[in-house]
Structure 1
Amino acid sequence: MLCVGVATTAQLTTPWILRFAIDFIQYGDKAPGNVLSEMTTRMLLSRNAYSHLAMLLSFGAFIILFTAVQGLFRFYMRTLMIGVSRKIEYEIRNDFFRHLLTLEPQFYQKHKTGDLMALATNDLEAVRSLLGPGIMHLVSTVLVAVSTLVLMMNLNAQLTLLALAPLPLVALTVKRLLAKIHKIFAKIQEQFAKVTAKAQENISGIRVIKTYVQEEAEAETFRELNRHLLEKNVSLAKVRAILWGGIEFLLGFSIILVIWRGGFLVISGKMTIGSLVAFLAYLGMLAWPMIALGWVMNMWEQGLASLKRMLNIWLTEPQIKDTEKTNHSIKNLKGSIEFRNVAFSYEEDKRNIIKNINLRIPAGQTLAIVGPTGSGKSSLVNLILRLYEAQEGEVSIDGQNIKSIPLRVLRKNIGYVPQETFLFSDSLEVNIGFGEDDPQPIEIEKAAESSQIKVDFDQFEDGLKTMVGERGITLSGGQKQRTALSRAIIRKPKILILDDALSAVDTYTEEEILKRLRNIMQDRTSIIVSHRISTVKDADNIIVLDDGEIVEQGTHDQLIQQQGLYFKMHQRQLLEKSLEEL
């Protein structure tokens, strides 16, 4: 505020000095209306030390001085304000990203990645402009406008009122057009999110696009989305041009009226030329705040539209979080798991994916889950991780309701390998050690040996330092799964969950991995989800899911004897294996 005040004072002083200079040129110390005060005249003409040329040079020096002061303090004003706004942007982006990390997977099923990326970049920049340049220019504009009006009234009240005659039209123009700008900008941000989402989706799915020869089709779809964005941006540019052009046009009438009436006052001797020039200078200064106000309000409308979009996400509370019922004294888990009358659906009022689940898994035992595609296998294990929340019944670990266990403790004690393996665009070493505070090289090596991925690493030139590319694109499906398995093993979890984690691995490699895993799984509760009977046959207990319910349960031999769904799956896989060997 100090910088704004000093810069504005210096700016407003310059026309006043210009007034003195012009009146001195025309009238000397005999200016009508005592424009040059007695004190000023005495200061400038005392002892006849200054010639008229020296006097003019003095006026010029004062103008240069105040202009320099204005420039200096405006520099500091911009540096401070923009710096603060960038700091705010930094904090908002961090907080926004941190908030996104607290939201459950269900949220991401409803929001596209591209939309969220647009919010974190394009919308955030508009909010920064609102909080930085927007506030700075608003304060500066209002201060200049009010101060200028006071000085104009001091010079000539009649001319000031005449100059303000077009103001109601200016206000009406600004009000009408800003409402339109707000609507258009909101649509632009939505369209930008669609363009970003499409680009992100196409880049992620480039292999599928190329495989199905859809490059041209996808390029055309993107072009169409981009064309709509262009059209909306052009519409916004037109409205902005009308806004600023309209303000300048209406303010032009003020200048014409002032010159007409001011010239008459000068001719009649009621106003000096210096005063008229100063008045016109102030009118020019007033014109800029009016134009700048339109620009600032445009910036505010854009910023508020983006802020509203961000708040829609920011005000979304995570549904799965620690509450006042969380027992923070729980630090470790043993691993016994129990489901009691559990039912779950991904959306309320929808058909249950999981229903009537009653199941107990003693600590240290291995449970296998099999069943047809879509029977609810992955959904069931996701409830243990609290990635989703059961609508009915209760899931407990070590006799504690899972909701009472701190989320960090729960997930730190679980090693999870999902169906869809995700690797970060970093080295193999970093991907295996992900989630550990300080993974030691020897621990990474052991985990890699257990998952049979070390054999592959040794063939790479950089070994564990090998970069895997975005989402592990440089690795095969089996290599990605084994890397993810290593990531779970290195945690030494009390509960190990493998969700179809070996589906992309050949039968021989799978058998080798399972041999090593048996030693690792001895003291851990293990849950294996698989379509392969060969993967689950040695489990302590096997459940068969069908349409979200447990339809069979027992050991491999017991289920074979029942000759139910498990038996049919087993027979079919034996037949498939026989056909492959032919």
Structure 2
Amino acid sequence: MKHLSALNKYFWKYRVRLIIGVFFVVVSNYFGVLAPQITGYIIDFVQRNLPGYVAKAKKPSYDVSVKAFIRWIEGIHLQPIKIVLFSGVLILALALLRGFFMFLMRQTLIVMSRHIEYDQKNEVFDHYQKLDASFYKTHSTGDLMSRMAEDVSRVRQFTGPAIMYFTNLVTLIGMSVFFMWKRDAELTLYVLSPLPILAVTIYIVNTIIHKKSEAVQAALGALTSTAQQAYSGIRVIKSFVQEDAMFKAFEASSEKYRSGATSLAKVESMYFPSMTLLIGLSTLLTIMIGGIYYINGHREMGIDTIVEFVIYINMLTFPVSAIGWTASMIQRASASQKRLNEFLQTEPSIASPAEAKDIALTGDIKLENVSFTYAHTGIEAVKKLNLHIRAGERVAVVGRTGSGKTTLIQLILRLYDVTEGRILLDDVPIDKINLGRLREQMSYVPQDGFLFSDSVAANIAFGTKWMDKEQVQEAAKLAVVHRDIESFSKGYDTEIGERGVTLSGGQKQRISIARGLLKASPIMIFDDCLSAVDARTEKEIMTNLVSHLKGRTSLFITHRVFQLFGFDRIIVLEEGELKEQGTHEELLQKRGLYFAMYQRQLQEEDPQEN
């Protein structure tokens, strides 16, 4: 139960529903345990009215409510047949009352569990969004989805049905044993003698179930992850004709889940037969021992007592059999909550400081002796980097693949924290600035811009808290994608499918550019976002950006040379180190890395022109 203690905050939040629900459980079971006593009274009353009846020295013990009914019905001196009839009507009324309060019980406890499920899914999703980029490099999307969907659903089985059935079986067993003990303590001990066997069985089986539940949930996460990757990469799978290979991978994951789930089901299947056997033994002991006592005239044992005990035992059939079911749900929920706790207790390494500064950035960026090493690979992507980008400056960061360009941008966005050195924005350390406010003032266009399964307009306006149609269209025109959008079936209202699957690579990149331009932040970052755009469109976009980015700090990450854009400064990175910086003309005169890149680009473009 230690893992499930994380749910206490929800129980406290919905404590009114929980308390009322438990009250309904108690009331419902109270009306239930009165029926055997009324039945016992009817048997005793009929016996007392038979010829030759010998009164017992000890009168039967009844509940206060039953005693009040007996005094009333015998006080009005009705005929025996009418007393039996009234008693039968009372048993029916008790059954109706019990059913009504069981309905209220489900309305409170099960509904409470749905509220908790809603809150918990929101908590998990909100925490996922707080976790940093390094977390998502080491965890698969399928596993994250499985934890929020399947694991939360299994936890709901604990917060609703398991609590309801557990409270029901505890109160019903407690009340039944109490009244059985009052009626005949020795017979009660005989009847309950199989309970130690029950306790040992439950303990052993629960231990096995807990271990198997963890394995099953882990296998389900792997299965979901395999399916998610197949759906996301279906075009690659089809183009490489790898349907059979992917099916075999899915089949292997599915088989692992099936074998684990089957093994778990086999263990759980031990519960019901064990409970039925123990209930049968208790019934047999009641009839056998009670019958022997009655035949021998021992201890004033009456048929009414035997009948009452048999009814109690049969009444306990469901709650006792539910012990295994409830215990299984609790064990499954415990395993699932343990998996959830692993994430919920993971603190993001990137977070706003306790006394975060909320500043309006002008765009001045300083990097002082910055180094960064990826924790999960050990690769040092940036080394001793010193750089000052002034507010409003247009800077190109060039270099070959793996030179540290994208890492530099991720450090400025504070998707990662530097390993050494520090980054200052407007002379304020970046880790002292409110994280949300920091990113609000940066507009980032990645190379593989992610598009959501929504309309084109909604995707362009994603980075803003409003959506003005005219401004959306203006941003699309600057990104040279307006004509393409107008040609779509529903224009800007066209649904683009998951990850923009209905669009070409160039269209996706230009919509991402439009999204970044619409945000119009003081710091604009473009990470090689024109790689899928043809030369003519690229030139048109760059021309549009000249006027639009005026007065804003602009960083262009690229492995190509944009000669016509007129950057204030070009920075050349090589293996994470700053090798060269200056204007286009200055770097050509140095005849270093930039010059070599420029010459290589000219050689690649000449054959195309010829």
**Does the TM-score normalized on the shorter chain lie above 0.5?**
yes
Q: Which residue, out of 325, 339, 347, partners 1:295? A: 325
Q: 1: distance between equivalents of 2:365 and 2:76?
A: 102
1:558 corresponds in structure 2 to: 586
Contact 2:542–2:565 at 8 Å: present in 1 too? no
The residue aligned with 2:253 is: 225
> 1:56 matched to which residue of 2?
84
SS of the residue 2:269 aligns to = helix
C-alpha deviations, 1:238-267, integer Å up to 9, x for none? 111112212322332222222110111222
For the residue of structure 2 that corresponds to 1:533, the secondary structure is: coil
Gaps of 5+ in 2: 1-21
Match of 2:31 in 1: 10
AA partner of residue 216 (structure 1): D
Q: Which moved more, 1:495-504 or 1:234-243?
A: 234-243
| More off after superposition, 262-271 vs 303-312 | 262-271
Partner of residue 245 from structure 1, selected from 273, 276, 280: 273
Task: Measure the CA separation in 2 of the matches of 1:112 and 1:403.
Answer: 28
Residue 273 of structure 1 pairs with residue 294 of structure 2: no
Could you tell me how far apart the structure 2 residues matched to 1:185 and 1:234 are? 11
Q: Larger deviation: 243-252 or 531-540?
A: 531-540
Q: 251-260 or 25-34: which moved more?
A: 25-34
Query: Aligned runs of 1:74-93 on 2, under 5 Å?
Result: 74-93=102-121
Is structure 2 residue 173 aligned with structure 1 residue 152? no
Q: How far does the alpha carbon of each residue in 1:298-322 deviate from its partner, in whole angstroms, 9 at most, with x for none?
A: 1111111111100000001111111
* CA displacement, residues 523-578 of structure 1 (integer Å, 9 cap, x when unaligned): 10000011221368621111111111111111111111222221111111111111
What SS is found at the alignment partner of 1:165?
A: coil
In structure 1, distance between residues paired with 2:146 and 2:93: 46
How far apart, CA to CA, are the structure 2 residues paired with 1:544 and 1:458? 39
Q: How does 1:84-123 map to 2 (within 5 A)?
A: 84-123=112-151
- Pairs within 5 Å for 1:164-179: 164-179=192-207
2:546–2:565 contact (8 Å) kept in structure 1: no
Q: d(CA) in 2 for partners of 1:516 and 1:117?
A: 41
Cα deviations by residue, 1:56-97 (Å, 9 ceiling, x for unpaired): 211110111000111000110011000011001101111111
Whether the 8 Å CA contact 2:165–2:319 is kept in 1: the answer is no
| Partner Cα separation in structure 2 for residue 537 and residue 65 of structure 1 | 88
> Distance between the aligned counterparts of 2:331 and 2:61, measured in 1?
46
State the distance in 2 between where 1:39 and 1:202 align: 70
Give the secondary structure class of the aligned counterpart of 1:490: helix
Cα distance in 2 for residues equivalent to 1:479 and 1:152:
78
Q: 1:202 to 1:535 in 2, by over 3 A?
A: farther
1:182-235 CA distance string (max 9 Å, x none): 011111100000111011110000000001001111112111211111111111
- Pairing 1:340-489 to 2, within 5 Å after superposition: 340-347=368-375, 350-489=378-517
Q: Pick from 197, 204, 210: which aligns with 2:238?
A: 210
Farther-moved stretch of structure 1 (412-421 vs 279-288):
279-288
Are the equivalent residues in 2 in contact too, given 1:419–1:501 (CA < 8 A)? yes
Q: How does 1:33-72 map to 2 (within 5 A)?
A: 33-35=58-60, 43-46=72-75, 48=77, 50-72=78-100
Cα gap change, 1:41/1:200 in structure 2, threshold over 3 Å: closer, same or farther?
A: closer
Aligned-partner Cα distance in 1 for 2:61–2:576: 94
Contact 1:528 1:536 in 2 (8 A): no
Task: Kindly provide the CA deviation profile for residues 378-421 of structure 1, in whole angstroms up to 9, marking residues without a partner as x.
Answer: 00011111111111111111111111221122111111001211
Task: Choose 171-180 or 345-354, whichever is displaced more.
Answer: 345-354
Confirm or deny that 1:22 pairs with 2:38. Answer: no
1:314 aligns with 2:314: no
Contact 1:368 1:536 in 2 (8 A): no
Aligned mate of 1:327, from 353, 357, 369: 357
Structure 1 unaligned segments of length 5 or more: list them: none
Name the aligned partner's letter for residue 334 of structure 1: T
Distance, in Å, in 2 between the alignment partners of 1:286 and 1:160 is 13
Letter in 1 for 2:164: M
Please, which moves more after superposition, 399-408 or 285-294? 285-294
**Aligned amino acid, residue 73 of structure 2:** L
TM-aligned CA deviation for residue 103 of structure 1: 0.8
Q: Tell me the distance in 1 between the aligned counterparts of 2:463 and 2:99.
A: 52
Q: TM-score, normalised by structure 1?
A: 0.96
Checking the alignment, whether the CA contact within 8 Å between 2:356 and 2:432 is kept in structure 1 is yes
Letter in 2 for 1:44: I
1:52 deviates by 2.9
Shift of 1:170: 1.1
8 Å contact 1:181–1:301 — kept in the other structure?
Answer: yes
Task: Specify the code of the residue in structure 2 equivalent to 1:453.
Answer: V
TM (norm. structure 2) is 0.92
Quote the offset at 1:36 in angstroms: 9.0
1:255-293: CA deviation from partner (whole Å, max 9, x where unpaired): 222211011122233321121111111122344333222
How many residues are aligned here?
A: 579
| Matched residue SS, 1:534 | coil
Q: Provide closer, same or farther for how the CA distance between residues 401 and 477 of structure 1 changes in structure 2, counting only shifts above 3 A.
A: same
User: C-alpha distance in 2, partners of 1:252/1:284?
Assistant: 9
CA distance in 1, matches of 2:531, 2:432: 34
Asked whether the equivalents of residues 369 and 530 of structure 1 are also in contact (C-alpha less than 8 Å), the reply is: yes
For residues 161 and 568 of structure 1, do their structure 2 counterparts lie closer, same or farther at Cα, with a shift above 3 Å needed?
Answer: same
CA distance in 2 between partners of 1:10 and 1:550 (Å): 82
Contact kept in structure 2, 1:345 and 1:353, CA below 8 Å: yes
Residue from 211, 220, 223 that aligns with 1:183? 211
Q: What is the alpha-carbon distance in structure 1 between the residues aligned to residue 99 and residue 316 of structure 2?
A: 19
